[in-house]
Amino acid sequence: MAGAPYLGEMTVTNSKLDKAVEASLEAAGQRYTRARRAVVGTLAGADGPLSAGELHARMSGSVPLSSVYRTVGVLEEVGILVPHFGVKGLTRYELAEWISGHHHHLVCVECGNVDDVGIPADLEATIREVVGAIAARASFDPVGHVLEIEGRCSRCS
C-alpha cells in the first residue's frame, strides 16, 4: 500500500476510511459487503487488535463466526488488515497503518490483551533515532519499525 494516503486518527464513522477501504476492495475486484463493513467498523472503534472470536463477540453475533474468518482473510489479502501474532499463539487483526496511522502496542503478559498506544511526535522522533542507531550497526537501511511493550495491564497489575 505504498503511496496510499494517510487518513489520520481513526474514528468509528469515518467516511474517508470507508471510501478508502471500498476503493481498495474494488481495485481487487471485491465488494464492500455488510460483513466487511461490520468488521472494519468494529476494528476502527477498538482499542487494539481483535481476534476473529473477539470480533464475533463485539458484533453481538450479527455476523456468523465462519463468515468473520472469511472476511478477515479477504481484508488481509487486500491489505486493509494486518495480523498481530499474540504471545499465546492467538492471531488478532487490526487496520493497516496506512488507514489507522502509526502506533505501537502494549502487550499484557498476564491476560494477553493487546492495546494500541499512540505517542507524541517528539517521542516518536526519539524512537526513530534509536531505531536508526541500531540499524546502522548492521549497515541496515531502516524503513519502519514495530514496537511492542510487554508488561501488565491496569487490570492485571
Find out whether 115 and 23 touch, Cβ atoms under 8 Å: no
Using the rule CB under 5 A, which residue among 111, 125, 136, 149 binds Zn ion? 111
108 touches Zn ion (CB under 5 A): yes
What mask, x for binding Zn ion by CB under 5 A, covers residues 42 to 71?
A: ------------------------------
Binding mask 11-30 for Zn ion (x = CB under 5 A): --------------------
Query: Do 78 and 71 contact (CB within 8 A), yes or no?
Result: no
110 sits near Zn ion (criterion: CB under 5 A): yes
The mark string for 116-145 relative to Zn ion (x by CB under 5 A, - otherwise) is: -----------x------------------
Number of H helices, E strands in the chain: 6, 5
6 within 8 A of 101, measured Cβ to Cβ: yes
Kindly indicate which of the ranges 36-44, 81-89, 135-143, 148-156 contains the residues binding Zn ion, using the contact rule CB under 5 A.
Answer: 148-156
Round to whole Å and give the CA distance between 147 and 101.
Answer: 14
Q: What is the smallest separation between the CB atom of 132 and Zn ion, expressed in angstroms?
A: 12
Among 59, 65, 74, 153, binds Zn ion (CB under 5 A): 153
Least CB distance from residue 108 to Zn ion, whole Å?
Answer: 3
Please pick, from the candidates 87, 133, 134, 156, the single residue that binds Zn ion as defined by CB under 5 A. Answer: 156
Q: Which residues bind Zn ion (CB under 5 A)?
A: 108, 110-111, 113, 127, 153, 156
